[in-house]
Structure 1
């Protein structure tokens, strides 16, 4: 990406990559803080929308100020868009990939589901690591536009299909997805609002323990 942006000095590339990784770490920590406050779905929407915009801009700037360009401002703008793209991804997807899947998978398939998710995730990443360098050599800046167009398709998918799980217990999420709550545990919102007293909590816990014994 830096070669295409017009930065070919290896020392400069190393410095940028070190700073970029530190920047992504900060963005992922900020995203981890906000996924409970903004919610899973809004965080994903913000992340996908912003990274799609920035990736389109990386492609456009690479086309205009890429390899062999002498426009320093254009090169700096391209690097800035790379930082914003990576930061947008880290803000949403870095925490969500390890928070959201376990929440929407019910207990009986959670372990297997996470295994399949990790296999698909790492398999796709492995393919991208080997395929993208060839794509960048063959079609250059168009690679970014193809990738960004795919990302744009994810926006309506998340908006339509994702279920908000922030602030809910696994039992409440199970009820959202299955329509049945397989537990006597009280709703988190009711506990926070004080609608469920300690006596009721103790009674429900006792009922649940009795069900487990039976």
Structure 2
């Protein structure tokens, strides 16, 4: 197999990165790593499905912000546990090793809850019609380019600075959480026209606001709707 197989697809890159993380945590047996990866993928699927409902009920911005806070918290914990293992690999207890892996599972779960659905939902909602197609293409391109670069940087960073790499990643997530809190707008329960109004100050359609209809403050008249159609 060509070495390029490890970066051909997002799934392959994720598997390779997880395998590296498990090694630094103290799980070096290939069978144990395979078992952990299989369980992890099932876990991430369950979290992603739960997250899809959460972003619809709770909102995009709160879900993303909650996820980022939990992500940098778990990364700092992983860094601390990894340091404890690396300082004394021979004397490390099984509870330390599996505790590290458990937090890694939590990290992947917290990521899947928010970012697996939001990476595809949110860009389409915040980009208007004229830039949506090109914007989504560029968003996906940059996402995959970053993932491709990161899958090479992470092992190098772990080999050179060890647990500090997790702290660096956690610090970056702190920055992302701040940016989400400041710049993100909530799009839950809004039509694309209502989202346009958030950015531009006015809607491009005379249609009623969805939230007003949900609350019973306004009613849709069939005759008006038929005339608009």
Query: 1:15 offset after TM fit, Å?
Result: 0.2
Q: 1:99 aligns with which of 118, 121, 136?
A: 121
Q: CA deviation at 1:197?
A: 3.1
Query: Post-superposition shift, 1:113?
Result: 0.3
The TM-score, its normalising length taken from structure 2, stands at 0.86
* Alignment partner of 1:41 is 2:57: no
Superposed displacement of residue 195, structure 1: 3.4
Within a 5 Å distance, the mapping from 1:1-214 to structure 2 comes to 1-66=21-86, 67-199=89-221, 202-204=223-225, 206-207=227-228, 209=229
Separation in 2, partners of 1:74, 1:162 = 38
Change (3 A) 1:121 1:182: same
Query: May I ask how many residue pairs the two structures share in their alignment?
Result: 207
* Structure 1 alignment gaps of length 5 or more: 210-214
Partner deviation per Cα, 1:156-196 (whole Å, 9 max, x = no partner): 11111110000010100110111110011110012223333
Distance in structure 2 (CA, Å) of the matches to 1:184 and 1:203: 10
Residue 135 of structure 1 and its aligned partner are, at CA, apart by 1.3
- CA distance in 2 between counterparts of 1:64 and 1:70 reads 8
Measured on the aligned residues, the alpha-carbon RMSD in Å equals 1.4
Consecutive unaligned residues of structure 2, counting only runs of 5 or more, are 1-20
TM-score, normalised with respect to structure 1: 0.92
Shift, 1:108, TM fit: 0.5
Does the CA contact (< 8 Å) of 1:184 and 1:204 recur in 2?
A: no
In the alignment, is the contact (CA less than 8 A) between 2:208 and 2:220 conserved in 1? no
CA contact (8 A) 1:104 1:173 kept: yes
Q: Find the residue that maps to 2:217 and give its secondary structure.
A: coil
